[in-house]
């Protein structure tokens, strides 16, 4: 998905330095990605809390990683 650029960086402003902002932006964009529910197949899977993901269509709640449910898409550069 090449569309995901520097969106979602609002809210941090110029604080915390560029490295942390970049990392935050990456995590944030990962967070905002649409997830497909493994149970009902809808795209209403949302992060409910840290490591908890829930489907708004079928009510499924699954445990995952803190910011993602799939293994490590965040690459450290
Ligand atoms: Zn579902």
**pLDDT digit string, tens, across residues 9-44:** 556 666 677 777 777 777 777 777 778 888 898 888
The two three-digit tokens of residue 30, written as one number: 């990962």
For 32, phi and psi rounded to 5 degrees? -85, -5
Q: Give residue 11 CA to ligand 1 midpoint distance, Å.
A: 30
* pLDDT of res. 72: 47
Which residue is it, tokens 């009510």?
Answer: 59
Q: Ligand 1 mean position to 71 CA, how many Å?
A: 20
Residue whose entry in the numeric block shows the structure tokens 């990456």: 26
- Tokens 């795209």 sit at which residue? 43
pTM of the model: 0.49
CA distance 11 to 28: 11
């Amino acid at each position: 998905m090449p569309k995901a650029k520097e969106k979602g960086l609002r809210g941090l402003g110029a604080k915390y330095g560029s490295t942390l902002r970049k990392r935050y932006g990456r995590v944030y964009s990962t967070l905002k990605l649409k997830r497909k529910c493994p149970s009902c197949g809808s795209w209403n899977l949302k992060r409910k809390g840290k490591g908890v993901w829930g489907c708004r269509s079928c009510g499924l709640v699954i445990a995952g990683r803190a910011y993602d449910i799939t293994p490590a898409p965040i690459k450290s550069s």
